[in-house]
């Protein structure tokens, strides 16, 4: 397995290189630029703008700019933000733990809820519980994450109030309340709405997918054999059936991780969560090229890494899978 993991890591290097080329030229192909606002400012002369372009290297041909940027990236230098005048690596280092906390919590909640729902729906197909979950999951799959986030704000921040204090039921901005930095309970309270917005749609999708996969597996010969031997139903469902039914879900999760990070962009913007999604949005509005490229490359690296981990998880879930 170590040889396979090393081979996959080496294979990801040219993929990241191709991604860097496409992203660099796509970002630069967008109309406008980081100095668009300066050009509209009557107090800034054309000579000053040209001096800034020369200082930032924006006058150089795009292949020259790409080569310089790639060389800096390989040496660990992502450049300096044009808008914020700070090192990009330092800004990402501050934000990436916040995004990983948000996405990780949403992912954990999704699995803890979706897997039991999917298994129980497969155990009791066409029951009242199954029909109820089917209705709820169809609704959850059809609601966009940005609309759901705004709806949660309206319900749990604007309409509903805390019956004891009369304040808002859930906070909707930032990671901590003012004056409560480092308070774990306050931080978890701030996580409730953004995690709910990010995970509800995925709970609906994964639970239905697992239900379908479980129903297929339950008709296999080894399941009938286990039942014929008198194995308890709980062991049949959660040890024999689930372990095989969850394999397609692992692939689906690996493919859906890009969408999960994309959803975090909307959620972080709506709930003012200081993560990479919000940093990307602020940089996109200001055409801050170094920040845009840094965030996207870090995200691409995380997605490729998660796909490699998903492939390795196959070997643990299915002993028949060999990586030699």
pLDDT tens for residues 179-237? 777 778 888 888 889 999 888 888 888 888 888 888 888 877 777 787 787 777 777 77
Q: How far is CA 263 from CA 99, 126, 232, in A?
A: 11, 32, 40
Query: 297-308 burial, b if ≥16 CB within 10 A, otherwise e?
Result: bbbbebbbebbb
pLDDT-derived band at 319, boundaries 50, 70, 90: low
Position 38 pLDDT exceeds 70? no
**Alpha-carbon span 33 to 59, nearest angstrom:** 12
120-179 confidence digits (pLDDT tens): 888 888 888 888 888 888 887 788 888 888 888 888 888 887 777 777 788 887 787 777
Q: How far is CA 73 from CA 66, 70, 79, 167, 205, in A?
A: 10, 5, 8, 47, 37
* Angle formed by the axes of helices 242-270 and 88-123, nearest 10°: 140
CB hemisphere CA count around 286 (13 angstroms): 15
Q: In the predicted model, what is the mean pLDDT of the chain?
A: 81
Q: Under DSSP, is residue 169 helix (H, G, I), strand (E, B) or coil? A: coil
Mean pLDDT throughout 11-33?
82
pLDDT score at 37: 65
**Token pair recorded at residue 90:** 């330092």
pLDDT-derived band at 263, boundaries 50, 70, 90: low
Lowest mean pLDDT among 94-103, 287-296, 303-312: 303-312
**Alpha-carbon span 267 to 250, nearest angstrom:** 24
- CATH class, range 95-317: mainly alpha
């Amino acid at each position: 397995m170590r040889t396979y993991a090393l081979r996959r890591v080496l294979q990801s290097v040219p993929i990241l290189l191709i991604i860097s080329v496409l992203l660099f030229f796509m970002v630069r192909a967008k109309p406008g630029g980081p100095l668009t606002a300066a050009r509209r400012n009557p107090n800034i002369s054309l000579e000053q703008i040209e001096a800034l372009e020369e200082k930032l290297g924006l006058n150089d041909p795009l292949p020259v700019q790409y080569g310089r940027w790639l060389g800096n990236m390989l040496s660990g230098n992502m450049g300096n933000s044009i808008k914020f005048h700070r090192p990009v690596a330092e800004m990402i280092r501050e934000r990436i733990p916040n995004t990983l906390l948000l996405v990780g919590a949403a992912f954990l909640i999704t699995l803890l809820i979706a897997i039991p729902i999917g298994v129980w729906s497969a155990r009791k197909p066409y029951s009242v519980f199954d029909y109820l979950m089917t209705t709820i999951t169809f609704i959850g799959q059809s609601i966009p994450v940005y609309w759901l986030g705004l709806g949660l704000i309206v319900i749990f921040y604007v309409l509903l109030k805390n019956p004891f204090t009369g304040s808002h039921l859930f906070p909707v901005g930032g990671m901590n309340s003012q004056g409560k930095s480092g308070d774990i309970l306050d931080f978890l309270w701030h996580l409730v709405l953004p995690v709910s917005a990010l995970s509800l749609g995925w709970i609906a999708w994964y639970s239905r997918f697992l239900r379908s996969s479980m129903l297929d597996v339950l008709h296999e010969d080894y399941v009938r054999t286990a039942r014929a031997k008198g194995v308890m139903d709980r062991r049949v469902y959660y040890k024999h059936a689930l372990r095989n039914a969850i394999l397609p879900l692992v692939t689906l999760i690996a493919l859906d991780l890009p969408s999960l990070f994309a959803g975090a962009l909307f959620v972080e913007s709506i709930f003012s969560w200081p993560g990479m999604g919000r940093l990307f949005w602020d940089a996109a509005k200001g055409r801050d090229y170094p920040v845009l490229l840094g965030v996207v490359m870090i995200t691409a690296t995380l997605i490729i890494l998660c796909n490699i981990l998903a492939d390795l998880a196959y070997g643990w879930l299915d002993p028949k899978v060999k990586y030699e």
